[in-house]
Amino acid sequence: MARAVTTQRKIVATAAAWIIGLAIFFPILWTVLTSFKTEAQAIADPPVWFGFDWTLENYSVVQERSNYFRFLMNSVIIAVGSTVLGLLIAIPSAWSMAFVPGKRTKDVLMWMLSTKMLPAVGVLFPIVLIARFLDLYDTHILLIVVLMLMNLPIIIWMLYTYFKEIPVDILEAARMDGASLRSEIIYVLTPMALPGIASTMLLNIILAWNEAFWTLNLTTTKAAPLTAFIASYSSPEGLFYAKLSAASTMAIAPILIMGWFSQKQLVRGLTFGAVK
Amino acid sequence: MTCTLRALLGATALSAIGGIAAAETLTIATVNNGDMIRMQGLTEDFTAKTGHEVEWVTLEENVLRQRVTTDISTKGGQFDIMTIGMYETPIWGAQDWLVPLDDLSAEYDVDDILPAMRGGLSVDGTLYAAPFYGESSMVMYRTDLMEAAGMEMPEAPTWDEIKAAAEAMTDKDNEVYGICLRGKAGWGENMAFLTAMSNSFGARWFDEDWNPQFDSEAWKTTLDFYLDLMNNYGPPGAANNGFNENLALFQQGKCGMWIDATVAASFVTNPNDSTVADQVGFALAPDTGKGPRGNWLWAWALAIPAGSQKVDAAKEFIEWATSKEYIELVAENEGWANVPPGARTSLYENPEYQKVPFAKMTLDSINSANPTQPTVDPVPYVGVQFAAIPEFAGFATQVGQEFSAALAGQQSADDALAKAQDLVNEEMEAAGYK
Amino acid sequence: MATQHSRAAARLMNAPAVFVLLVWMLIPLCMTIYFSFMDYRPLRGVADCCVGFENYERFVTSSSFLSSVGTTLLMVGGILAITVIGGVLLALLLDQPIWGQGIVRILVIAPFFVMPTVSALVWKNMFMNPVNGLFAYLWKFFGATPIDWLSELPLFSIIWIVSWQWLPFATLILLTAVQSLSSEQLEAAEMDGASALSRFYYIILPHLGRAITVVILIQTIFLLSIFAEIFVTTNGAFGTRTLTYLVYQRVLESQNIGLGSAGGILAVILANIVAIFLMRIVGKNLDN
């Protein structure tokens, strides 16, 4: 009896979850489908679902107009670069605050988070002037540093809450055994912290990849990432849905695929200390 | 050792001298319109002729304006050539932010540029940007619907005649709307149209002491007439229709008339995209007998920001892209209907181009616009559908939002005008005009 | 001795992060404050110091200021409401035993990976366009007049688009929290005859409290600076002009850096007031 109820409940839950999941995913699916249509089919009334002549024409038009791979490389360099740099600075910081908390630790943490409150548009001019002064306009390093700083508070916070979950007793036991600070970090802490670091890294790559204000305003050609690529595909004259879809698909595909493969990692650490 | 050093130095000096004629890489910011994208496709011709490479930064219009304005006002120096409009050119030229184009070669034939375009892109007689293409606005109408209504469109209609025609053609049950006009908020969207329209009603943005004039009778008449037309004979949701949306509606046969950019003519008469390609007639933008017609004047032009390190190569590119030869190159590859229009007199004298049905009306429209005296009363600004002052884009967009909200039925015309008057007043005081 | 040693080490390890954030905060902030006291309009070649609090006064007294603050609160509040409520429900659903849980979870988190610009473009053109959008077809299919989303329901449309992007984030965090709830407690309550609703209200919701505050805090930080979605869809028309967007219009459209900077500083102050309020709540939770 109990079993029957459970199965019935499972069917209902499954159906509901799948319907909602597909509904949430639908805009992405529709974009990908449209990218394989001709412009006329893209606005056909009634809409066509799968029964159209699949074409790669939009992709070749987009590739011909703009060199996709250069934008892609820039996106990868900037996202990965800012993440690595951010982790290098954030890990020691979060570690020290989590394991050697002082009176001020919480205030420091909150202050760090509050630096994210500066609206980007408000400081555009100062940043542009500084970039010009340092002759760093349109360089990878500028974007890496700016995006790192944008996301640093979030990284530190995420790592901090993750490190806090590591039981201090273990560290003390290691210390008793005469482990140095270095070996403490390498042999005890690192293995336990790795999942948290991995998911922090993934989240930061996603945030850096999708950042669209600084990447657009601080680059021209050499360092322009995919956000600049997409900025040339909205609302020109005439029909453009299929080409817009192709460009959109190209812009989101790499990060979407990365996200899907690593979603378990991402989910494990994405708690911000929310679970106790 | 010394020998090697000297040889090295010599080589450097040589290459420096050679550098003047050597190949450069130009960075060009441009808008993603069809004509510009076509130009990108033909860049190889330029590289083959001069050896210079070109890096394109193609952006959507709003993003482009944001990018180049920031760059020029912070002296960012990121671009060797910028695509700018007739609004920016006189402002930036007067600030000496652009390289004057006063030494273009003889074969370029600068006198061939249409006088209206040249005037709008010059400051005190010095050209600061070369027009890539130019446009005015005109009436495009459905000849078949006019015939069915038993009416005839005059070559130079009045607004009352337009209204009568709109009434006769409207058939809402069959989704045919007598008139489609811009309603989407923006200084380059609904305000371009409404400002040009207001000129023909004798309205103006400012009097000679920079007092905003939205409390004038002429503006009230303009806005009332516009709202009346759109509410009775316009398509639903018009408050969000810009150029693109109206183009789609007209191509689908849902508009009896459409008053918009002359470049639209080549789209609505193109049988590949338009269901009404062979039933389109053209007329001058309407007037009210006060003198000015309700048409605007605009050009997308190429300019070199002051401080560019590659001025010579940049000038070579501008000469190539806005030359007679470039027009022929496009005609060869894509046909005469697709060449960039509205920039050169010689194009309109070309017998091949005269066969294009909308060529004459485009030229007449461009010639009938006068940026220095746009309306009946004298004004302190230059520009037909805008006032060429730096603050205009900002507050005109806000005014556009008020008018758009009036069209959407969210407020009355009087409220919209009163709010417009207040906010422009506020901006002008802050900007120190008064 | 050892503690002192490790304290010094800890301070040293924290130093780089504190230093770079301090520089990052102070230099642009000081420049912005400086600009905010200037009459700085590069397009007219004006850069005069100083005009006192004139910029602040003008920014606050302009007719658009209060409405933009209201719009910001409405927009952020609306998005938070949708994502938190939707996230809790979705998390509870995904916590149930279902077939293909992994795939459903992938489908649900996908929007989080989409660039804001792309998602705004796709929603605006392919769904909300009143002529060619998918919603228009759907409405026509049922015999209704298509809605012109972006001019008739502009604020709702933007809230909808942004909620779609942030729902996965809320769901994921809440899901981890739901999963950490001990099933024994729930089963015991079920045995005692507690209804599903009272179980939710008395056991699940209190357990999720901490996760919900975290979601609200993190999202608020990001949502206060929403820009791309407004820029792409309505350009701030029809009452969708937030404080951030107003600052953008002052700085870039009107090219009045002084006035815009004053607005930026005000935005920072207001954002920090909201943040301090939120952090108090979260800070309490961090102690436990």
Q: What pLDDT is stored for residue A108 in this prediction? A: 85
Task: Tell whether C41 is within 8 A of chain A (Cβ).
Answer: no
Are the Cβ atoms of A237 and B59 closer than 8 angstroms?
Answer: no
Higher pLDDT, B156 or A233: B156
User: Cβ of B94: how many Cβ atoms within 10 Å?
Assistant: 14
The size of chain A, in residues, is 276
pLDDT recorded at residue B288: 92
Q: Which residues of B touch A221 (CB under 8 A)?
A: 27, 55, 57
Is residue B320 within 8 A of residue B46, CB to CB? The reply is yes
- Per-residue pLDDT of A70-125, as tens digits, reads 999 999 999 999 999 999 999 888 888 888 887 788 788 888 887 887 778 878 88
Which chain C residues contact residue A175 at CB under 8 A? 2
Give yes or no for B430 touching A (CB within 8 A).
Answer: no
Nearest to B160 by CA among B88, B82, B108, B225: B225
B313-351 residue pLDDT tens: 999 999 999 999 999 999 998 888 888 988 899 999 999
- How far apart (Å, rounded) are the C-alpha atoms in residues A114 and A123? 15
Mean pLDDT value across residues B191-203: 94
Check whether B253 has a pLDDT greater than 80.
yes
The answer to whether A239 faces chain C, any CB pair under 8 Å, is: no
| Chain C residues touching residue B410 (CB < 8 angstroms) | 238
Distance from CA of B102 to the nearest CA of C (A): 23
Residue in chain C lying closest to A26 (CA): C107
Which class would CATH give B24-134+298-354?
alpha beta
- pLDDT confidence band for B15 (50 / 70 / 90): very low
Q: Say yes or no to pLDDT of C125 above 80.
A: yes
Do residues B293 and B284 make contact, with C-beta atoms less than 8 angstroms apart? yes
Q: Which of C7, C123, C180 sits opposite A100 (nearest CB)?
A: C7
Q: Which two tokens stand for residue C276?
A: 């301090």
- Give CA–CA dist B288/B76, Å, rounded: 47
Whether A238 sits inside 8 A of B79 (CB atoms) is no
pLDDT (0 to 100) of residue C72 = 92
pLDDT given for residue B224 in this prediction: 96
**pLDDT grade for B11, boundaries at 50, 70 and 90:** very low
Across the range B166-181, mean pLDDT stands at 92
Of A132, A221, A238, nearest to B57 by CB-CB distance is A221
CA distances from B42 to A43, B46, B48, B326 (A): 30, 7, 10, 9
Residue by residue, DSSP assigns C149-215 as HHHHSHHHHHHHHHHHHHHHHHHHHHHHHHHTS-HHHHHHHHHTT--HHHHIIIIIHHHHHHHHHHH
pLDDT higher than 90, residue B303? yes
Residue B37 predicted with pLDDT over 70: yes
How near does any CA of chain C get to the CA of B195, in Å? 19
Q: In sequence order, which residues have a C-beta less than 8 Å from that of residue B36 and are 6 or more positions away?
A: B30, B58, B83, B132, B300
d(CA A65, CA C253): 29
User: Distance, in angstroms, between B234 CA and closest chain C CA?
Assistant: 15
Q: Does C116 touch chain B (CB under 8 A)?
A: no
pLDDT, residue B185, reads 84
Q: Distances in Å between the alpha carbon of C238 and those of B102, B242, B391, B407, B417?
A: 45, 15, 21, 11, 16
- Residue C3 banded pLDDT, cuts 50, 70, 90: low
Domain ranges of chain C: 54-287
The torsion angles phi and psi of B209, rounded to 5 degrees, stand at -100, 20
Q: Judged by CB atoms within 8 Å, which residues 10-69 of B form the interface with A? A: 27, 32-34, 37, 40-41, 55-61, 63, 66-67
Can you give the pLDDT at residue B5? 45
What gap in Å lies between CA A238 and CA A240, rounded to an integer?
Answer: 6
Kindly write down the DSSP assignment for every residue of A109-169, as one continuous string: HHHHHHGGGS-GGGGHHHHHHHHHHTT-TT-HHHHHHHHHHHHHHHHHHHHHHHHHTS-HH
Please compute the mean of the pLDDT values over residues B268-278 and round it to a whole number.
Answer: 85
Q: List the subunits that have 3+ CB pairs under 8 angstroms with A.
A: B, C
Do A47 and C134 count as a contact with CB atoms less than 8 A apart? Answer: yes
Alpha helices in C37-182 (DSSP H): 54-61, 63-95, 101-109, 116-122, 134-141, 149-152, 154-179
Residue in B40, B74, B267 closest to A128 by CB: B74
Answer whether the bond into residue A46 is a cis peptide, omega within 30°: yes
What is the distance between the terminal CA atoms of chain B, rounded to a whole angstrom?
70
Strands C38-41 and C46-49: antiparallel
Neighbour-count burial of A102, counting CB atoms closer than 10 A to its CB (0-12 exposed, 13-18 middle, 19+ buried): middle
Evaluate whether C253 touches B393 at the Cβ level (below 8 Å): yes
Beta strands per DSSP E along B211-291 = 255-261, 280-284
Beta bridge partners of B283: B139
Q: Which residue of A has its CA nearest to C127?
A: A27
Tens-digit pLDDT profile for residues A167-218 = 777 777 777 777 677 777 777 777 777 888 888 899 899 999 998 888 888 8
pTM of the model: 0.85
pLDDT at position B58: 87
- Extents of the domains making up chain A: 2-59, 67-269
Structure tokens at A202: 């993934």
User: Which two three-digit tokens encode residue C197?
Assistant: 């609703």
Topology, domain B136-296+377-430: D-Maltodextrin-Binding Protein; domain 2 (3.40.190)
Query: What residues contact residue B177 under an 8 Å CB cut-off, 6+ apart?
Result: B170, B233, B234, B235, B249, B254, B255, B256
Beta bridge partners of B284: B138
Report the mean per-residue pLDDT for chain B. 88
How far does the CA of residue C254 sit from the closest CA of chain A (Å)?
A: 13
For residue B76, which residues of chain A lie inside 8 Å, CB to CB? 128, 132, 137
**Three-class SS of residue B302?**
strand
C273–chain A Cβ distance below 8 A for any pair:
no
- Closest C-alpha to A217, from B17, B59, B34: B59
Backbone angles phi, psi at B235, to 5 degrees: -75, 160
Chain C residues with CB inside 8 Å of A122's CB? 32, 247, 251, 260-261, 263-265, 267-268
User: What DSSP character marks residue B398?
Assistant: H
* Pick from C97, C173, C265: CB nearest A271: C173
Mean pLDDT of B179-191: 90
pLDDT digits (tens, 9 = 90+) for B56-74: 988 888 888 888 988 888 8
Tell me the chain C residues in contact with residue B73 when contact means C-beta distances shorter than 8 Å: 42-43, 255
Is the pLDDT score of B113 beyond 50?
yes
Q: Which CATH superfamily is domain A67-269 in?
A: MetI-like (1.10.3720.10)
A66 touching B, CB under 8 A?
yes
pLDDT above 70 for B12:
no
Q: Say what percent of chain C tops pLDDT 90.
A: 22
Kindly report the number of other CB atoms within 10 A of residue A50's CB atom. 7
Cα A62 to Cα A229: distance, rounded to the nearest angstrom: 10
Burial of B284 (0-12, 13-18, 19+ CB in 10 A): buried
pLDDT band at A44 (very low <50, low <70, confident <90, very high): confident
How many residue pairs bridge chain B and chain C with CB atoms within 8 Å of each other? 85
* B chain contacts of residue C45, beta-carbon cutoff 8 Å: 95
pLDDT at A271: 67
Residue B10: strand pairing partners: none
- Asked if A50 and A35 count as a contact pair (C-beta separation under 8 A), the reply is no
- CB spacing of C137 vs A124 below 8 angstroms: no
Amino acid of residue B81 = I
Tokens of C39: 């009459």
**Separation between Cα atoms, residue C160 and residue C168, nearest integer Å:** 13
Res. A149: pLDDT tops 80: yes
Least CB–CB distance from A138: residue in B40, B63, B78: B78
Task: Assess whether pLDDT exceeds 80 at residue A241.
Answer: yes
Q: Which chains touch C (3 or more CB pairs under 8 A)?
A: A, B
CA atoms of B361 and B259, how far apart (whole Å): 13
Q: With an 8 Å Cβ cutoff, are A20 and C108 in contact?
A: yes
pLDDT at C5: 67
Q: What is the pLDDT of residues B362-389, one digit of tens each?
A: 999 999 888 888 899 999 988 999 998 8
Q: Do A47 and C90 touch (CB under 8 A)?
A: no
Tokens of A16: 């509901």
pLDDT at A275 over 70: no
* Token pair of B257 as six digits: 């008339």
Structure tokens at A34: 């449209």
Query: CB distance C43–B395 less than 8 Å?
Result: no
Give pLDDT, residue B17.
41
The pLDDT tens digits of the residues spanning B277-293 come to 899 999 999 999 888 99
Which of A44-48, B299-303, C221-225 is modeled with the greatest confidence?
Answer: B299-303
Question: Does C1 have pLDDT greater than 50?
Answer: no
Are the Cβ atoms of A232 and B60 closer than 8 angstroms? yes
Could you tell me how many residues make up chain C? 288
pLDDT tens-digit series, residues A110-143: 888 878 877 788 788 888 888 888 888 889 999 9
- B215-231 residue pLDDT tens: 999 999 999 999 999 99
d(CA B175, CA B266): 24
pLDDT band at residue C69 using 50, 70 and 90 as cut-offs: very high
Structure tokens at C56: 């602040």
Q: Is the per-residue pLDDT at B80 higher than 80? A: yes
Could you report the per-residue pLDDT of C189-236, keeping only the tens digit for each? 878 877 888 888 888 888 888 888 888 888 988 898 888 888 888 877
What is the C-alpha separation between A142 and A145, in angstroms, rounded? 5
pLDDT at B390: 84
- Bigger pLDDT: B133 vs A48: B133
Mean pLDDT value across chain C:
85
**What value does the mean pLDDT take over residues A260-267?**
79
At residue A1, the pLDDT reads: 40
B24-134+298-354 and B136-296+377-430 share one CATH topology?
yes
Helix axes C2-36, A68-99, angle to 10 degrees: 130
Q: In the predicted model, is pLDDT for residue B79 greater than 70? A: yes
pLDDT band at B13 (very low <50, low <70, confident <90, very high): very low
Are B32 and A238 a contacting pair at CB < 8 A? Answer: no
Confidence band, pLDDT 50/70/90 cuts, at residue B7: very low
pLDDT at B16: 42
Give the model's pLDDT for residue A236: 53
Q: Which CATH architecture fits C54-287?
A: Orthogonal Bundle (1.10)
| Residue of C132, C211, C260 with shortest CB distance to A43 | C132
Which residues have CB under 8 Å from B52's CB, separation 6+? B23, B24, B25, B26, B46, B313, B316, B317
Across the interface, whether the CB atoms of C253 and B401 are under 8 A apart is answered no
Ramachandran class of B369: left when φ > 0, alpha when ψ lies in -120 to 50, beta otherwise: beta
Answer whether C41 sits within 8 Å of B419, measured CB to CB: no
A35 touches chain C (CB under 8 A): no
* Chain B interface includes C151 (CB < 8 A): yes
Q: What is the reported pLDDT for B286?
A: 94
In chain B, residues with a C-beta closer than 8 Å to the C-beta of A65 are 37, 40, 58
Rounded Cα distance between B251 and B253, Å, is 5
**Under an 8 A CB cutoff, do C250 and B248 touch?**
no
Q: What's the rounded Cα separation, in Å, for the pair C48 and C176?
A: 55
Phi/psi for B286 (5° steps) reads: -70, 160
pLDDT (0 to 100) of residue C254? 77
